[in-house]
Chain A
Amino acid sequence: DQQVKQNSPSLSVQEGRISILNCDYTNSMFDYFLWYKKYPAEGPTFLISISSIKDKNEDGRFTVFLNKSAKHLSLHIVPSQPGDSAVYFCAASGRGDYKLSFGAGTTVTVRA
């Protein structure tokens, strides 16, 4: 039972343009959301997070938006750079159960 879904397995974007990655969740108990980034042959690294009390969190070129009513969050990368080419995982956890549920990931390729 996949509670976190990333429906786009891949995304190709030109350098300097915006990358938008989407994530949907089904569990209404989720109240904390994270994005992790993974390069080949490395473990995932934390990128950005958002609590359900907010609808936006920004860190440099990365912004995460949360739409609780739609159970949807998105990650915006502006501007996209070649070093952003990686797999991005959306993850979520709920009140009282801090276990993380991960999506299947979206592979981003930034073209020069």
Chain B
Amino acid sequence: QQQVKQSPQSLIVQKGGISIINCAYENTAFDYFPWYQQFPGKGPALLIAIRPDVSEKKEGRFTISFNKSAKQFSLHIMDSQPGDSATYFCAARSPEGGGNKLTFGTGTQLKVEL
């Protein structure tokens, strides 16, 4: 029940295209859903996050769509650029233990080609 399923495992998008990464969860107690971007040999960096009472959040070229009834959320990267090539992880925060624990998806390797 603590799992977060992420797809696809890898994604190749042409420059200027839209990258879409999907995540699904089971635990309805999750209360916060961040997305992280990780470059090789670096730690993850928070990209954008959403709470379950909001259906969409947009920050620049990055948008999270959240479907509470389906227990799914997705990251859309508009006008994808080669510099966006990285691994992306969705995550979900559990309220247990004071709202500390993050459960990560399996990651999506995005490659944006020229």
A and B found bound together? no
Chain B residues engaging chain A, CB cutoff 8 angstroms: none
Chain A residues engaging chain B, CB cutoff 8 angstroms: none
